[in-house]
Structure 1
Amino acid sequence: MPEEEQEAQALPEEMTATQPRVVLFDFDGVLIHGDAFYLFMRQRYAGSLWRKLLALSSLPLLLLLLPFSRRLPERVLVRIALLGLAEQHYRAAANAFADALARRPRQFSRDGLRALRQHQAQGDRVIVVTGCEHTLVSGILQQLGLTNLEVLASQLRPGWLGMRTLRHNVGPRKVQLLAQHGVTAWQLAYSDSLQDVPMLRPSVEVVLVNGTPTLCKKVEKALGRVITRVDWF
């Protein structure tokens, strides 16, 4: 084989070797204690009597739907919480809440944030892949001083009566969104949820955060291999 042709074939391997590792972080339960969007929705209801009353009046229907679908009642409650919010007003409300939330240091995982920053310092390509809404999670990360991050998250869209769900980034949709983002391989993934198995399966290494022994066994059974379990506070 000619020397020039050998060099041409070797080039892609050299380029691949210089590319940074891809590291994925879930957000809720990994970098923050609890569910950030739920906390935001709770604030929306706490500050509005008419939203509370509307949600209470919808309760019989929601209870009727609950045995068949948990997601549908949740979406109805989110719609009520966002009722009357135009896109600009939603962004302002989400960013204000992100600012307030970032001022609660105990709300966040010190160990998780340290691990993320260490990956950045090592030159890894860090991507936060979350079911939290994009504007909210991006605002929180920015308030925490975390920059140069890629964020793949759930999204809302403007509707006639206010903002509504466009895409809920959970389960297999995380893998689909990563593919749309041009990411088809990753070396490390952090999660706290069995729902993330589709995202964890392709990862070279998996880290389960604050998982119970039972959850760890379920994830390992679903993946067919041993994973790393860490306790973060």
Structure 2
Amino acid sequence: MDKTIADLRKDYTLQGLSVSDVNPNPFIQFKQWFDQALSAQLPEPNAMTIATVTPDGKPRARMVLLKGFDERGFVFYTNYNSHKGQELAQNPQASLVFWWAELERQVRICGRTEKASESESDEYFYSRPLNSRLGAWASNQSEVIESREVLEQRMQELQIKYQNQDVQRPPHWGGLRVIPTEIEFWQGRSNRLHDRLLYTRLDDGSWKIVRLSP
């Protein structure tokens, strides 16, 4: 008999997670897990879901790529005129989720966003391949277009225009940094008794760690 969606399940047995296992600094703990995801050669370990809220309270989520992190926060790049860019301009609160299935791990991050500095955005933009830089000009992200051909035509025109010129960063394109107030580390465990450790930033900048029930 074919399985139904309700029949799909996996028992998580790789390892556990306790307060004594983790670094008191969540950024160091994230780096340890991220480095392990890199070492495991997972496909796009920097892929993350970002959730935003529209002005009328509707949540929206989509996948983006993490392009940098440190103790200031987690950075990705986008068109500021896109849906997510406009939503974050009106309500800077966002949530990120990393899912590393092969390691049976999830990281959830909540906080406010701010634009990365002009110099940060420039540095990343000029590190991109030429066609990726042109793509930032070709696409009016999230806007309706008549067809795929319209987008390809724009790209061809830009390739001709800039074949002997430097491609400047569009003023509407750059980095956004999520500055966390909460970071949760989730480790899958057997019988759905998962380990969840939540870091919460306190007023003095330190972090409190608590265990959450699965």
Instruction: Tell me which interval the TM-score lies in, with the shorter structure as reference length.
Output: under 0.3
Name the structure where strand makes up a greater proportion of residues: 2
For normalisation by structure 1, the TM-score amounts to 0.22
For normalisation by structure 2, the TM-score amounts to 0.24
Name the structure where helix makes up a greater proportion of residues: 1
